[in-house]
């Protein structure tokens, strides 16, 4: 298995002048998510998810794009696995679409298991294993069955209970070829973008519901972890969070409260219950005008407190905050969509100033130091928990050049600098076991539709032809050189 412990942290071996190297058994992968790539939304017994409904609602997704076809991975998965094999990847993080597995789920009943749905993922896993690529499976990457949303979605604790049952079904079916099951991807987005700002499905703008969703997502992680561990005792259970390196522009103490609030809402409201079995008191206080948190029932925190075997970190850009003085227009460049409703509940005195320097096509500032800082913080505050970078990458406006190639040097620079940041953390002891580049393929970037390209493989959306970008060749060279990172280029 690829995800073994890295004991010797000798990254200083020089392959070439100035070069650095990752530990020998580091896992090298890429990541995708079902709704963003599969398409075939009405095939194989699948029923609608909240993203089908949302993307088909006029005005919700740029260009009216939907995931109906996406990049047709459902039919082309063999070609995509062949690309991964060609690149030399050792692992692949994929997600399972819940509505393919239990298409008739309701709030009180999981319904029958759809064997066609399982068969698709079984075939994909078989293809990966045959290619020598270890799959890591995310169980929830935002495609909640619509029937569950109709009954309350993540504001209803029954959703967490059904999720745990579904998780056990998938784990049982895909083990032992799949050893790593990640319960949730970025519950921050599911809760705050889905239920507070409404820029993601299901598009609700109800701050109290968003905090209820936070708790029920935490509960879902806890219940599903227990269910997976009971069903497959050898499984490695993970949780992926989009944690933020929150800081103020000048490190002013006047901004400390802004930093604390955003850190609480983005990081600690997920980390503390899962890793320590309690909610942060300051977050409960900051949000007390919105909710009394009475949806946290007696005994819930014991259920939530399921320390992951591996904590997944998704990192793209820093989060820079400042205390707003109230005398001038508030800056809201938080990088999560222009919206009248804020995802930042209880952060009224906080502003998100525009950052100087380089930005990606998402408008996200580029600062790899944040990845080092986050990994070191987790190592410091939660020693003994293995870490993985489960997403990192960048969107740029790629074009196919006259030579038929995609020369995405901006992405190469981004990847080189962020891999260097991971090495910085490893060198001072952070137990980082692997890196998953987001993303393998250009894909459906949620409310941005197909307008943003994160892939190291270019997709022609008219023909669905796949073309390896320069970044794919660069990443492949790093992987095939056993994690030797060139000093430049």
Minimum distance of ligand IFM from residue 314's CB (angstroms): 5
Which is nearer to ligand IFM, 414 or 438 (by Cβ)?
438
Q: CA 180, 184, 189, 192: dihedral to nearest 10 degrees?
A: -160
Residue 424: CB minimum distance to ligand IFM, A: 22
CB of 267 to ligand IFM, least distance (A): 16
Pick the binder of ligand IFM from 2, 33, 96, 128 (CB under 6 A).
33
- Residue 219's Cβ-count burial label (10 Å; 0-12, 13-18, 19+) is buried
Nearer to ligand IFM, 127 or 391 (CB): 391
34 near 446, Cβ under 8 Å? no
252 is a catalytic site residue: no
Asked if residue 390 binds ligand IFM (CB under 6 A), the reply is no
Q: Check 127, 149, 373, 391 and give the catalytic one.
A: 391
Nearer to ligand IFM, 34 or 423 (CB): 34
The site string for ligand IFM over 434-473 (x = CB under 6 A, - otherwise) reads: ----x------x--------x-------------------
Query: Does 186 qualify as catalytic in the annotation?
Result: yes
CB of 363 vs ligand IFM, minimal distance in Å = 11
What is the rounded distance in angstroms from the CA atom of residue 143 to the CA atom of residue 48? 9
Closer to ligand IFM by CB, 52 or 445: give it: 445
With beta carbons less than 8 A apart as the criterion, state whether 82 and 90 touch: no
In the complex, what is the shortest distance from the CB of residue 296 to ligand IFM, in angstroms, rounded to a whole number? 27
Binding mask 350-369 for ligand IFM (x = CB under 6 A): --------------------
Q: Which of 286/442 has CB closer to ligand IFM?
A: 442
Residue 391 in contact with ligand IFM, rule: CB under 6 A: yes
Helix (H, G, I), strand (E, B) or coil at 250: coil
Task: Give the span between the Cα atoms of 45 and 119, in whole angstroms.
Answer: 11
Alpha-carbon distance of 248 to 279, in angstroms, equals 24
Closer to ligand IFM by Cβ: residue 127 or 445? 445
Bridge partners, 95 (sequence order) = 138
Closest separation between CB of residue 280 and ligand IFM, Å? 24
Stretch 275-294: interaction string toward ligand IFM, x if CB under 6 A:
--------------------
CA distance to 214, 285, 292, 293, 341, per residue, from 289 (Å): 16, 8, 8, 10, 16
From 276, 304, 306, 279, select the one nearest 382 (Cα to Cα). 276
Q: Is 467 helix (H, G, I), strand (E, B) or coil?
A: strand
Q: Can you spell out the DSSP letters for 8-20?
A: -------SSTT-E
Please give the DSSP secondary-structure letter assigned to residue 264: I
| Size of site (CB under 6 A) for ligand IFM | 8
Distance (Å, whole) CA 31 – CA 95:
9
Taking the complex as a whole, the smallest distance from the CB of residue 266 to ligand IFM amounts, in Å, to 14
Q: Smaller CB distance to ligand IFM: residue 208 or 375?
A: 375
Rounded Cα distance, 378 and 441, in Å: 29
Look at residues 313, 305, 296 and name the one whose alpha carbon lies nearest to residue 188: 313
Q: In angstroms, rounded to a whole number, what is the distance separating the alpha carbons of residues 102 and 117? A: 8
What three-state secondary structure class fits 102? coil
Q: What is d(CA 248, CA 486) in angstroms, rounded to the nearest whole number? A: 32
- Least gap, CB of 189 to ligand IFM (angstroms): 7
Q: Which is nearer to ligand IFM, 36 or 225 (CB)?
A: 36
C-alpha–C-alpha distance, residues 91 and 27, integer Å: 6
CA dihedral 364, 369, 373, 379 (to 10 degrees): 110
- Nearest residue (CB) to ligand IFM, 424 versus 445: 445
Pick the closest to residue 315 from 368, 353, 354 (CA basis).
368
Q: Are 271 and 240 in contact (CB under 8 A)?
A: no
Shortest separation between residue 95's beta carbon and ligand IFM, angstroms:
9
Under rule CB under 6 A, which residues in 296-315 are in contact with ligand IFM? 314
Binding mask 100-139 for ligand IFM (x = CB under 6 A): ----------------------------------------
Quote helix, strand, coil % in the chain, to nearest 5.
Answer: 40, 15, 45
CB 194 within 8 A of CB 200: yes
Catalytic residue of the set 127, 186, 351, 445: 186
Q: Contact letters (x/-) for ligand IFM, 177-196, by CB under 6 A? A: ---------x----------
At closest approach, how far in Å is the CB of 97 from ligand IFM?
13
Token pair listed for 289: 């005008």
Residue 335 or 483 with smaller CB distance to ligand IFM: 335
By beta carbon distance, the residue nearest ligand IFM is 33
Helical packing angle, 115-130 and 157-174, nearest 10°: 50
Which residues contact ligand IFM by CB under 6 A?
A: 33, 36, 186, 314, 391, 438, 445, 454
What residues are labeled active site? 186, 391
């Amino acid at each position: 298995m690829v995800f073994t412990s890295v004991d010797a942290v000798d990254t200083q071996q020089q392959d070439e002048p100035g070069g650095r190297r990752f530990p020998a058994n580091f896992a090298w992968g890429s990541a995708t998510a079902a709704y963003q790539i599969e398409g075939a939304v009405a095939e194989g017994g699948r029923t609608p998810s909240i993203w089908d409904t949302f993307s088909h609602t006029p005005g919700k997704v740029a260009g009216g794009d939907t995931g109906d076809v996406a990049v047709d991975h459902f039919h082309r998965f063999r070609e995509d696995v062949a690309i991964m094999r060609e690149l030399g990847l050792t692992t692949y993080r994929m997600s399972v679409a819940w509505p393919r597995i239990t298409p008739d789920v309701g709030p009180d009943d999981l319904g029958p298991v759809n064997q066609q749905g399982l068969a698709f993922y079984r075939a994909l896993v078989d293809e990966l294993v045959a290619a020598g690529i270890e799959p890591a499976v995310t169980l929830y990457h935002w495609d909640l069955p619509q029937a569950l949303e109709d009954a309350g979605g993540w504001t209803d604790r029954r959703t967490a209970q059904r999720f745990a049952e579904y998780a056990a079904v998938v784990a049982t079916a895909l083990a032992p070829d799949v050893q790593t099951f990640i319960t949730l991807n970025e519950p921050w987005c599911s809760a705050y973008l889905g239920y507070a700002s409404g820029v993601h499905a299901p598009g609700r703008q109800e701050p109290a519901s968003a905090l209820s969703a936070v708790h029920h997502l935490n509960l879902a992680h806890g219940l599903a972890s227990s269910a997976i561990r009971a069903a497959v005792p050898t499984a490695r259970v993970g949780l992926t969070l989009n944690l933020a390196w929150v800081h103020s522009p000048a490190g002013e103490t006047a901004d400390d409260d802004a930093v604390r609030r955003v850190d609480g809402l983005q990081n600690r409201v997920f980390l503390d219950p899962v890793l320590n079995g309690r909610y942060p008191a300051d977050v409960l206080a900051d949000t007390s005008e919105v909710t009394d948190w009475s949806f946290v029932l007696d005994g819930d925190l014991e259920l939530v407190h399921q320390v992951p075997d591996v904590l997944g970190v998704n990192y793209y850009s820093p989060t820079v905050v400042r205390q707003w003085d109230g005398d001038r227009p508030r800056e809201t460049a938080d990088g999560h969509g222009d919206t009248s409703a804020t995802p930042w509940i209880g952060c009224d005195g906080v502003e998100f100033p525009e950052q100087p320097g380089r930005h990606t096509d998402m408008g996200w500032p580029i600062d790899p130091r944040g990845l080092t800082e986050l990994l070191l913080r987790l190592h410091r505050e939660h020693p003994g928990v293995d870490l993985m970078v489960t997403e990192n990458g960048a969107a740029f406006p790629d074009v196919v050049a006259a030579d038929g190639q995609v020369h995405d040097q901006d992405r190469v620079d981004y990847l080189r600098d962020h891999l260097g940041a991971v090495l910085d953390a490893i060198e001072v002891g952070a137990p980082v076991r692997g890196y998953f580049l987001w993303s393998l393929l250009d894909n459906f970037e949620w409310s941005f539709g197909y307008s943003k390209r994160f892939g190291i493989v270019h997709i022609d959306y008219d023909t669905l032809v796949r073309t390896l970008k320069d970044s794919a060749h660069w990443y492949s060279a790093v992987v095939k050189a056993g994690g030797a990172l060139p000093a430049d280029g």
